[in-house]
């Protein structure tokens, strides 16, 4: 369906607030910037900001929309004959090889990471996001394998696969903060992914293989 005028204006307002807040956070840090500062700079009321973003942390992580269910989506979309872990490894390799901003391989990502490191509320929200990624992946694995509610295996496998994902993101973040070039980091992380795969057991690598459709 075509987007109506009301929906378009709401989307544009939300995007303007998000872009304005991101600029302020990168310039001044997360803690010093208030919701009132964002509202004034975006030319909206404080209530309007809260209508779109219930918490200040939501403003900062707005660009991370879709991250929480990313691994679950990759697993549900895996190819026939492909396991859950191999699907995630494949998707990560494709993103890293493409030097994708979606995995932090872009100029300016170091500023984004520094803001997080300097703000305890953002570090706390990031931890919560990581837990949400794990929980969503566990639910997907449980559904895909038909595991019983009390079976611990989907949770254990989700932990292993999330370790892969988190290791890649932590490495990229660290190297970008150190001033490295995205292309250089991309090449090194591709090697890292090979090392990570070598460390995974056959049980992990062959868990939840999708049958032929």
Structure confidence by residue, pLDDT tens digits, 93-126: 999 999 999 999 999 999 999 999 999 999 999 9
Q: What pLDDT band is residue 179 in, cutting at 50, 70 and 90?
A: very high
Give mean pLDDT, residues 175-201: 97
C-alpha distances (whole Å) from 57 to each of 47, 108, 196 are: 16, 20, 32
pLDDT band at 5 (very low <50, low <70, confident <90, very high): confident
**Which tens digits make up the pLDDT trace of 197-207?**
999 999 999 99
**pTM for the model:** 0.89
Distance CA 121, CA 81 (A): 42
CA–CA separation, 137 and 155 (whole Å): 8
* pLDDT value at residue 4: 80
The enclosing H or E element of 160 equals: helix 153-177
In this prediction, residue 116 carries a pLDDT of: 94
Instruction: Identify the pLDDT of residue 212.
Output: 57
Please state at what angle helix 109-117 crosses helix 153-177, rounded to 10 degrees.
Answer: 110
């Amino acid at each position: 369906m075509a987007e109506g005028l009301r929906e378009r204006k709401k989307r544009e307002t939300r995007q303007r607030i998000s872009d304005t807040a991101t600029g302020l956070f990168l310039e001044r840090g997360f803690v010093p910037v208030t919701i009132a500062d964002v509202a004034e700079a975006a030319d909206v009321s404080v209530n309007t900001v809260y209508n779109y973003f219930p918490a200040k942390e939501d403003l900062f992580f707005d660009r991370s929309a879709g991250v929480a269910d990313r691994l679950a989506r990759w697993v549900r979309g895996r190819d026939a004959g492909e396991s859950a872990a191999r699907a995630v490894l494949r998707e990560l390799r494709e993103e890293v090889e493409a030097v994708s901003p979606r995995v932090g391989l872009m100029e300016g990502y170091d500023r984004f990471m520094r803001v997080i490191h300097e703000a305890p509320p953002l570090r706390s929200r990031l931890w919560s996001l990581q837990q949400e990624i794990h929980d969503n992946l566990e639910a997907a694995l449980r559904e895909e394998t038909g595991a019983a509610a009390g079976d611990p295996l989907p949770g254990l496998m989700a932990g292993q696969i999330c370790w892969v994902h988190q290791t890649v993101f932590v490495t990229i973040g660290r190297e970008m903060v150190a001033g490295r070039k995205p292309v250089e980091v991309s090449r090194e992380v591709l090697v890292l992914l090979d090392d990570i795969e070598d460390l995974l057991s056959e049980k992990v690598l062959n868990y939840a293989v999708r049958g032929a459709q």
